[in-house]
Amino acid sequence: MALQEGLARARGWLAKPRPMLIGGEWVMAASGETFETLDPATEESIVAVAKGGPEDVDRAVAAARRAFEPGSPWRRMTPRSRSRILRRLADLLQENRDELAALESLDNGKPYTKILSGDIDFSTNILYYMAGLADKIEGSVIPISATEVPWPAELGAQGPADYLVYTLREPVGVVGSIIPWNFPLLMAVFKSAPVLTTGCTMVLKPAEQTPLTALRFGELILEAGVPEGVVNVVPGFGDAGAALANHLDVDKIAFTGSTEVGRLILKAAAGNLKRLTLELGGKSPNVIFADADIDAAIAGAAHSIFFNHGECCTAGSRLYVERPAYERVVAGLVEKARRLKLGSGLDAATDMGPMISQEQMDRILGFISSGISEGANIAVGGKRFGDRGYFVEPTVITDVREEMTCQREEIFGPVLTVVPFDTAEEAIAAANGSRYGLAAAVWTRDISKAHKTARALRAGTVWINSYHADDASIPRGGYKESGWGRELGLEGIVDYLQTKAVIAQL
């Protein structure tokens, strides 16, 4: 019943073309252009969306700058009032959860039930957590050795002066947030929550494949009491993202996406030395020792790669198994892959939905083909599923060598490579032999081995005997080419603040 009610509300909202949010107003693109967003399960059009371009980005940045100016309603708002807004926004997510889940399932393809228990509940927890930080952003008082501070006699000094020195933690300014298509609503919350917590303002650019929940979230932001111009939502393509990254009146870019696009954003930020938070690609290793609870490890390894259709930056896409357990683990993974039901996210029986687009499906199948051509074998899956929608079978690849393309490159789909190892040193060296370092996991009953391996793995997040356990209090981010900075946790607001030192002679 909840699904049907949510779907009815979503379809009502989709009955007309969707505009963008600029300065508190819902407007169409300056060019008048729109684009179609597609249901990846059916390849059919859902709705036309305003196609933002550089002129719209200019308008949105100007609105965000006005909202950030001293004396604006947002800048005069107390930290506790910002906290109340964040809590109200969290409540609104829950009040509209069925509609949001239906929109997300239509636009992204992921299962409705998993959106409810995963994306929406986690988003709510992030907002509640950040609400608790809004009135706890503090500076410090710094004692200095006043008698040793030089003070020119010509300025009237009569002797050593006393000083009061303190720091202020101030919002960095206008933030450009560019989010991906794999967790559209959750990523919008990831970027919005620290902005609202710290008192910054924002222009949010959702992925062109999945703009719908970001636009609906924009409505909830206004309903929660966020002043006009504080959050602006501009859907569009690469030219809109490039305009935002290059904009000289944007103080910071927060980006989640591929390492390749991250490099482009890094170059664009050089114009005015923008701050950057980048969560980029991953090729995360998952290490199973023979002394692990093998059944639990098999279940965890399957979850690590087939969760969210494998379209997850932290997906455990490289599995290393100690040789005595290798055959059993592969057999267990094959069995689990075969039992997964593929279909529309609006079908309650669906375990795994479609890939986001034809382009992404073709890319994934291309990586599988390259593995076969380089000598790997397909233990299960490896093909497109059906002839309608962008479905790829859950796939397990064996007989893999480290130099193979499927082992080196981020596939971003339900494709797992499995490699045996003989020693812990061999497994750690292989696991670390990647340009990425976003996440990793280790499975063993030996507590010493578990923690030694976790310390040796070069990744921003390491799970022990679990995978994808998460919370709003845990900072996340990457090593190496997997990104800069951290999101969530106490560290998640640091890059949205700047420190001012104030020195007063008494």
Which of 40, 49, 39 lies closest to 16, judged by CA?
49
Helix (H, G, I), strand (E, B) or coil at 446: coil
Q: How far apart are CA 140 and CA 126, in angstroms?
A: 26
Sequence-separated (6 or more) residues with CB below 8 Å from residue 213: 100, 103, 104, 107, 184, 185, 188
Point out the catalytic residue in the list 313, 322, 406, 410. Answer: 313
Cα–Cα distance measured from residue 133 to residue 131, given in angstroms and rounded to the nearest whole number: 5
Active-site option among 279, 322, 393, 487: 279
The gap between the terminal CA atoms of the chain, to the nearest Å, is 68
Residues in the chain: 506
Contacts of residue 16, defined as CB under 8 A and 6 or more positions apart, other chains included, come to 47
Separation between Cα atoms, residue 229 and residue 63, nearest integer Å: 5
- Residue written as token pair 């939502």: 233
**Which residue type sits at 378?**
I
Give the residues across from 498 on adjacent strands.
170
Helix axes 184-198, 212-223, angle to 10 degrees: 30
Q: How far is CA 328 from the centre of its chain?
A: 34
What lies within 8 Å, CB to CB, of 225 at 6+ separation is 84, 85, 88
Pair 355, 460: CB distance under 8 Å: no
| Beta strands 231-233; 201-205: pairing state | parallel
Strands, E assignment, 99-192: 163-171, 174-178
Per the structure block, which two tokens stand in for 3?
């699904």
List, in sequence order, the alpha helices (H) in 227-322.
238-246, 259-269, 294-306
| Catalytic site includes residue 279 | yes
> Which are the catalytic amino acids?
279, 313
